[in-house]
């Protein structure tokens, strides 16, 4: 199953959770209200998230003379991808990492930390920046906004369902569905399921950006080498990042082991590198 199909299936799963809630609650009015509120919140996020996240990390815009090599790489890759040159930003952190933001290729920005310029050579930087530009080309910000809207609707409906269960306001045919207890159980489990599906969408988009970025720079090993360095550095010195924006970065800026890996926005680095190595050997990513 290719990454686009996986994303479609996962978005369908989120929609299915909402429809199930609507059935349990006995009507569509609450579902409609949740969609409206969640859509409004994510509409604002979609249009202004780039400004918000760049300001949150104190990113400073770079011109051609501020970081000539970095600027030339981005300009070269943007031309190869036939998209406008994105705005380029620097985050003053020694932890090597990078992210892309912006609602479409005409309103895109790429941010890198000072650390990544120190740790990565030119080819590795090309691999990283190719990955980030691929997020822009693939319109992953739009995909994540839709996923966030659906997941947000699930969270809101789950909150209403918990109160409905507490006060004994069940859905239709309560005896058949388990009444308030069934509604309460769904209200507890559905947000967990929605979160896992949303994270799975994020991980799927990372694999897609790895593959398309590798094709853009014509060498999957550029990114594979960079990922190895970035993962090692972030484990030693995690970036001071917000969990709300962790999914934007090329490697997970947050530390976590065991069960936390289940809730990671990023696929395992080992698997990402393995896929890139397979690409380099002539196999499919």
The residue to which tokens 């309103």 are assigned: 107
Instruction: Please tell me the total number of residues recorded for the chain in this structure.
Output: 285
The answer to whether residues 250 and 97 touch, using CB atoms and an 8 Å cutoff, is yes
Helices (H) and strands (E) in the chain, counts: 10, 4
> Which of 278, 135, 137, 266 shows the shortest CA–CA distance to 220?
278
The answer to whether residues 197 and 13 touch, using CB atoms and an 8 Å cutoff, is yes
Return the active site residues.
Answer: 132
The answer to whether residues 53 and 245 touch, using CB atoms and an 8 Å cutoff, is yes
SS3 140: helix
Return the biggest CA–CA distance within the chain: 71
DSSP 168-200: T---SSHHHHTHHHHHHHHHHHHHHHHHHHHHH
Tell me how far apart the alpha carbons of residues 222 and 213 are, in angstroms, rounded to a whole number.
10
Return the sign of the alpha-carbon dihedral for residues 205, 209, 212, 215: negative
Element (H, E) at 109: strand 109-113
The answer to whether residues 151 and 196 touch, using CB atoms and an 8 Å cutoff, is no
Element (H, E) at 28: none
């Amino acid at each position: 199953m290719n990454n686009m199909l996986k994303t479609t299936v996962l978005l369908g799963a989120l929609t299915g959770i909402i429809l199930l809630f609507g059935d349990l609650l006995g009507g569509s009015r609450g579902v409609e209200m949740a969609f409206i509120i969640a859509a409004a919140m994510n509409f604002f996020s979609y249009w202004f998230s780039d400004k918000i996240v760049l300001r949150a990390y104190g990113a400073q815009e770079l011109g051609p003379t501020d970081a000539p090599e970095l600027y030339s790489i981005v300009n070269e890759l943007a031309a190869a991808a036939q998209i406008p040159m994105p705005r380029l930003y620097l985050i003053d952190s020694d932890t090597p990492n990078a992210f892309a933001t912006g609602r479409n290729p005409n309103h895109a920005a790429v941010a890198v930390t000072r650390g990544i310029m120190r740790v990565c050579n030119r080819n590795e930087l090309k691999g990283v920046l190719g990955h980030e530009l691929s997020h822009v080309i693939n319109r992953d910000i739009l995909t994540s906004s839709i996923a966030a809207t659906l997941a947000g609707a699930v969270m809101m409906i789950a909150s209403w369902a918990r109160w409905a269960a507490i006060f004994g306001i069940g859905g239709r045919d309560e005896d058949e569905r388990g009444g308030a207890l069934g509604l309460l159980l769904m209200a507890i489990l559905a947000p967990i399921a929605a979160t896992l599906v949303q994270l799975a969408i994020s991980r799927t988009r990372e694999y897609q950006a790895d593959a398309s970025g590798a094709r853009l720079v014509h060498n999957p090993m550029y990114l594979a080498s960079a990922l190895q360095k970035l993962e090692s550095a972030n484990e030693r010195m995690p970036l001071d990042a917000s969990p709300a924006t962790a999914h934007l970065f090329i490697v997970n800026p947050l530390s976590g082991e065991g069960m936390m890996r289940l809730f990671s926005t990023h696929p395992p680095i080992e698997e990402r590198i393995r896929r890139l190595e397979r690409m380099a050997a002539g196999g499919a990513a």
